[in-house]
Structure 1
Amino acid sequence: MAAFTSKDVARLAGVSQSTVSYVMTGKRQISERTRQRVLAAMEQLTYEPHAGARALAGRRTQVVGLVVPFDSMSEMTGLLPFIETIASSARASDYEVLLVTADEGSAGLRRLAGRALCDAIIMMDIQEQDERVQVAAALPIPVVLVGMPDDPAGLYCVDLDFDAAARIAVDELVDTGHDEAFVIGYPAAVTDRRLNFAGRFLRSVRRHAEMRGLPLTVLEPVELGRAGAATAVEHLLAHRRPGRTGVVVPYNASIRPLLHALGARAVVPGRDLSLIGISTDHQADESEPPYTNISEEPRDVSRRAMKTLFWLLDPGPGVGHPPVDLVAPRLTRRGTVMPAPTSAMRSS
């Protein structure tokens, strides 16, 4: 028996080879008339792409591949809300989740798609210039990025609006009468790899602080753990100016060690200086002391990423999704930002 290929199917159906691929994977919206022609040609030729494939014309694996970082256990607290929400969204649509670690790189993506292990992929841990993105864009299954590389290569991106988070932090400090701000920067593991969220936040916080006339110092890298936090606090206290100092901590794993380091020096956030962390609301509420935070919204980001992914698998007529979907951050005040001085205090 002759072994037919997708090129044979395309020739018989009178369509391009890429259209055959889109019909099989659901990566692009194809008219029902064209889809039926392709399915009829596949049936006539008794064609299947390879022996293990189940993703033919409605016969899917019902699996979503999730590419996640597992570099350091210190990041697991921030990662778990993403994994939990993606898994629950998948189960609600009768899908399972297959975890793949980001250290597999492009080979991991090719393995997922090439062996028909999943119907679509969610990628996290995105670098500004990520060599996996071009590979992902060429895969025959939908890929959604949680993050924004410099060049998304046509892939859909969902993430927190880190530019807006930086603006909110600067505005809160300026509007409450602060004289300067320190940013406790990211660890070297983040900055050396140029993870996209760090660059987006730091560029925005520098730009907006300059625009609003707030003197800003960025301490980086600041290593995780108590030793790194203690060093950052010593530098901050030694170099801050007279007046009201605000501290912004954009990396959630750094916040609690920093609070511990401040407490060890009897420095009280909300009294002696101000502190804003970027983290989940749960982390901010459960901290001692609870701190003013700008929420990372990991569950909203994950839900919207999954919504985009399922739309790519089954695009509805007249329904679209933005290629870049940024979730708006929220500021919640919990007492670690000093209130604005009164008019009398300002004039004295």
Structure 2
Amino acid sequence: MRIDDDRADERTDPVGPAGSVPPGRRGRLAPTSKDVARVAGVSQSTVSYVMSGKRPISEKTRRSVLEAIDQLTYEPNAGARALAGHRTNVVGLVVPFHNPEAASGLMAFAEEIAVIARGRDYDVLMLTAAEGPAGLVRVQRRAMCDAAIVMEITTDDPRAAIARELEMPVIFIGVPDDRDGLHCIDFDFETAGRLLVDELADAGCPEIAVLGWSEERVGLGINYVPRFRESARARAAERGVPLRWISAPHTRTGVEGYLDAALGPDGGPHPGLLTVHSPHDVGAALQQRALVPGRDLDVVSLCTDVEAQAQPVPPTAVSTQPRDVSRLAMAWMFDLLAGDVPAELRLVEARLTRRGSVRPSGS
């Protein structure tokens, strides 16, 4: 595979009698394995062995060769790539940690992926920098892993185009708008939005106030935010219930601001509250206001079962099921390594678990 089409002519530039480059063409020859060997301080055959895996190479030497490949942006030809197709028994997990909030929410996925990989005698290489397509290219060029699972998918994800071209299997946990030819798996955020709105509408809430993702999170373009938000808004419109979407940082101060905006002055009927992250701060803030979910107002949440059960009044919730998503992604990845599997979208079913945070209808 050729990543950079602008370099197509560079590989065939003629060389003069003494190895010179014709005038006007100097410096445009593509790097070769001989260049890699020179920079790494090894023989050309050693470079070949690192690429093919046909002979054991010390980790120090292998690292030197890979660093030289990266430095020179060397791209082996198709034959060399075929030799490099040996298994590394490593799966790459591309999971950019944009901020602490995002990192904490992603760890359940990463932990489950690591456990499953270990059970199949695989290791996990985590790539946490926001490198975009370059990160995927680097992983394949260095033959660092057999397959990659990519997270934090944006609606217009620049990694989608390169994922279609890579020779190693790539699975997206998330759904970009243009998903043709991609293997995508995710939780069904659309159905989750409808289930949570229905629960509050069925309880007779006069309004729904959503504690949405922070503006910073929204600004990243993560795909599930508009999927959930638009589904919830459409369902509220169908049910004839006004819905307010309030974006706030997921901090105690942010939650207090959300409740101030949602509840308003005392005395009026409270709206139903819908939160899209761990309900811990909301539960604590409501306690300070002497408000008890299921008695004084109705609260539902998009959160994991573990997060819900940790609250004084566990909320009725739809779990995002990060471990189920990870298990299915890994099973699919191993199927892809065993042979061709059609590209498609697979969604993990959304299910509502009723607890004690919503009052019976008419109470």
The TM-score normalised by the length of structure 2 is 0.75
Aligned to 1:36: none
Give the match's secondary structure for 2:130: helix
Match of 1:95 among 122, 141, 163: 122
- Which residue of structure 1 lines up, in the alignment, with residue 149 of structure 2? 122
Equivalent position of 2:159 in the other structure? 132
Q: Which residue of 2 aligns with 1:84?
A: 111
Equivalent in 344, 354, 360 of residue 323 of structure 1? 344
Task: Note the 1:85-234 alignment, pairs <5 A.
Answer: 85-220=112-247, 222-234=248-260
CA change 1:190–1:165 in 2 (3 A) is: same
Q: Structure 2 CA distance, aligned partners of 1:77 and 1:192? A: 18
CA shift digits 1:174-206 (9 cap, x unpaired):
222222111111112211111101110001000
> What is the alpha-carbon distance in structure 2 between the residues aligned to residue 219 and residue 256 of structure 1?
18
Tell me the distance in 2 between the aligned counterparts of 1:300 and 1:321: 21
| One of 260, 263, 274 as aligned partner of 2:287 | 263
Structure 1 unaligned residues grouped into runs of 5+: 7-47, 343-348
Q: 1:136 to 1:192 in 2, by over 3 A?
A: same
1:303-322 pair list within 5 angstroms: 303-315=327-339
Counterparts of 2:318 and 2:170, CA distance in 1: 28
CA distance in 2, matches of 1:241, 1:150: 44
Give the residue type in structure 2 aligned to 1:227: T
- Paired amino acid for 1:289: V
1:272 to 296, 300, 303: 296
Deviation at 1:291, TM superposition (A): 1.8
Find the counterpart in structure 1 of residue 51 from structure 2.
52
2:337 counterpart letter in structure 1: L
Change (3 A) 1:69 1:325: same
Supply the AA of the counterpart residue of 2:351.
Answer: R
Tell me how far apart the structure 2 counterparts of residues 200 and 102 of structure 1 sit (CA, whole Å).
Answer: 25
- Kindly provide the amino acid, as one letter, of the partner of residue 156 in structure 2: Q
For 2:355, what is the secondary structure of its paired residue? coil
**Which of 56, 69, 76 does residue 96 from structure 2 map onto?**
69
Q: Which amino acid aligns with 2:132?
A: G
Conserved? CA contact 1:53–1:116, under 8 Å: no
Would you say the 8 A contact 2:181–2:343 is kept in 1?
Answer: no
Distance 1:290 1:139 in 2: 45
Residue 167 of structure 1 and its aligned partner are, at CA, apart by 0.7
TM-aligned CA deviation for residue 90 of structure 1: 1.3
Displacement after TM superposition at 1:315 (Å): 2.5
Contact kept in structure 2, 1:160 and 1:329, CA below 8 Å = yes
Partners of 1:72 and 1:281 in 2: CA distance:
23
Which runs of 5 or more residues in structure 2 are unaligned?
Answer: 3-46, 54-81
CA contact 1:219–1:232 (8 Å) conserved in 2: yes
- Confirm or deny that 1:237 pairs with 2:236: no
Instruction: Determine the structure 2 residue equivalent to 1:333.
Output: 354
Distance 1:56 1:304, change over 3 A: farther
How far off is 1:148 after superposition?
0.4
Shift of 1:53: 3.9
Q: 1:141 to 1:268 in 2, by over 3 A?
A: same
Distance 1:269 1:49, change over 3 A: farther
Choose 1 or 2 for highest CA Rg. Answer: 2
Which portions of structure 1, spanning 4 or more consecutive aligned residues, are displaced by more than 6 angstroms?
none
- Using the TM superposition, give the Cα deviation of residue 239 of structure 1 relative to its aligned residue in structure 2, in angstroms: 7.0
- Give the match for residue 281 of structure 1: 305
Aligned residues: 292
Distance in 2 separating the partners of 1:267 and 1:276: 15
**Is the Cα contact below 8 Å between 2:52 and 2:85 reproduced in 1?**
no
What is the root-mean-square deviation in Å for CA atoms of aligned residues? 2.5
In 2 relative to 1, CA 50–167 (structure 1 residues): closer, same or farther, beyond 3 Å?
farther
1:298 aligns with 2:319: no
Which gives a bigger RCO, structure 1 or 2 (Cα 8 Å, sep 6+)? 1
Go from structure 1 to structure 2 and tell me whether the alpha carbon gap of 1:56 and 1:273 turns closer, same or farther (over 3 Å shift). Answer: farther
